């Protein structure tokens, strides 16, 4: 049986989405066009291993799909060559901000860093949307920065956690290296009326084929965990299993 979280499995997932008649678009397209009908937002949080993101971006481009890739500013994510290559494939680039965590809760310093980091990314792409990085081991929720400041004053059109109606858009994420891992998610979660349990990517494909998903979906993946190479795949599996134990404890403590 094919392993889950491989590029081959991801290709099968995209094929199912396409066959089901969804329009696969970026988050900026969804917000600016007011998309209706069968819409599938392809979101990617580039936390690590940016070359993996280039691999998923190429698969999507071959299918005629566009998505959004949110890059962190830290060295393990920020790669100008990869950013440009993904943008040239027709995808949107956004800022995966974590400034409040990096600045240890100093709001003024964090906002100053946010603006500088945003302009650094805009050298390579005209960034219009941003998305918080969960920073699960930090006491600071990066979204709290917007209790004091307004990201729209920086020319930002939207931020998914603030500007998406998740009562209408089904949010689907591979956080924790599982599609059904809310217990392992510290901050990457939304209030949703949808009660759809998904055990694996194969199960997700079956539900898409059976038309069991809503008409609007936001799918968020972390491309660092999608690979055909056995050694990196195994390393990510073991690392994420250990990380989930810690995140599960943190999540329960925050309740």
Which domains does the chain possess? 7-254 (3.20.20.370)
Residues 56, 64: Cα–Cα separation, whole Å = 13
Own/partner contacts of 142-148, CB < 8 Å, gap of 24 or more, are: 142/97, 142/98, 142/99, 142/100, 142/101, 143/187, 144/100, 145/97, 145/99, 145/100, 145/107, 145/110, 145/111, 145/114, 148/107, 148/111
The answer to whether 20 and 208 are in contact (CB under 8 A) is yes
In this predicted structure, what is the pLDDT of residue 247?
53
In this predicted structure, what is the pLDDT of residue 108?
99
Q: What are phi and psi of 184, to 5 degrees?
A: -100, -5
Residue count (the chain):
255
In this predicted structure, what is the pLDDT of residue 239?
80
The answer to whether 179 and 205 are in contact (CB under 8 A) is no
Residues 221, 177: Cα–Cα separation, whole Å = 9
In this predicted structure, what is the pLDDT of residue 184?
62
In this predicted structure, what is the pLDDT of residue 135?
86
Q: Residue 46: CB partners within 8 Å, gap ≥ 6?
A: 53, 69, 70, 71, 72, 77, 96, 222, 223, 224
Per DSSP, the residues of 87-147 read: HHTT-EEEEEE-HHHHTTT-HHHHHHHHHHHHHHHHTTS---BEEE---TTSS--GGGGGG
How many CB atoms are closer than 10 A to CB 200? 14
98-120 exposure pattern, b = at least 16 Cβ within 10 A, e = fewer: bbbbbbeeebeebbebbeebbee
Q: What are phi and psi of 75, to 5 degrees?
A: -60, -35
pLDDT tens for the chain, 255 residues long, are 789 999 999 999 999 999 999 999 999 999 998 777 899 999 999 999 999 999 999 999 999 999 999 999 999 999 999 999 999 999 999 999 999 999 999 999 999 999 999 999 999 999 999 999 988 888 999 999 999 999 999 999 999 999 999 999 999 999 888 898 666 666 778 888 998 999 999 999 999 999 999 999 999 999 999 999 999 889 888 888 777 666 554 555 555
How many CB atoms are closer than 10 A to CB 217? 20
Handedness of CA 234, 240, 243, 244 (dihedral sign): negative
Cα–Cα nearest to 171, from 228, 132, 214:
214
Residues 42, 56: Cα–Cα separation, whole Å = 11
In this predicted structure, what is the pLDDT of residue 12?
98
Cα–Cα nearest to 131, from 48, 57, 47, 61:
47
């Amino acid at each position: 049986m094919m392993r889950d979280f491989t590029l081959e499995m991801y290709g099968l997932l995209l094929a199912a989405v396409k066959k089901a008649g969804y329009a696969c678009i970026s988050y900026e397209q969804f917000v600016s066009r007011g998309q209706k009908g069968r819409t599938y937002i392809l979101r990617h949080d580039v936390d690590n291993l940016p070359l993996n993101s280039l691999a998923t971006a190429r698969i999507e481009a071959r299918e005629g799909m566009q998505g959004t890739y949110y890059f962190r500013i830290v060295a393990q994510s920020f790669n100008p060559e990869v950013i440009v290559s993904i943008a040239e494939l027709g995808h949107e680039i956004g800022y995966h901000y974590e400034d409040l965590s990096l600045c240890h809760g100093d709001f003024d310093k964090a906002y100053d860093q946010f603006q500088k980091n945003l302009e650094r990314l805009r050298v390579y792409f005209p960034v219009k949307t941003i998305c918080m990085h969960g920073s699960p081991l930090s006491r600071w929720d990066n979204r709290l920065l917007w209790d004091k400041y307004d990201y729209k004053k920086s020319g930002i059109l939207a931020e998914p956690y603030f500007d998406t109606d998740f009562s209408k858009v089904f949010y689907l994420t591979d956080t924790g290296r599982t599609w059904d891992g809310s217990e392992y998610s510290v901050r990457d979660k939304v209030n949703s009326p949808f009660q759809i349990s998904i055990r694996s990517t194969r199960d997700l494909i079956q539900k898409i084929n059976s038309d069991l998903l809503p008409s609007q979906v936001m799918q968020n993946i972390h491309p660092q965990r999608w690979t055909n190479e056995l050694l990196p795949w195994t390393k990510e599996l073991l690392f994420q299993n250990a990380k989930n134990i810690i995140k599960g404890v943190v999540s329960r403590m925050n309740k």
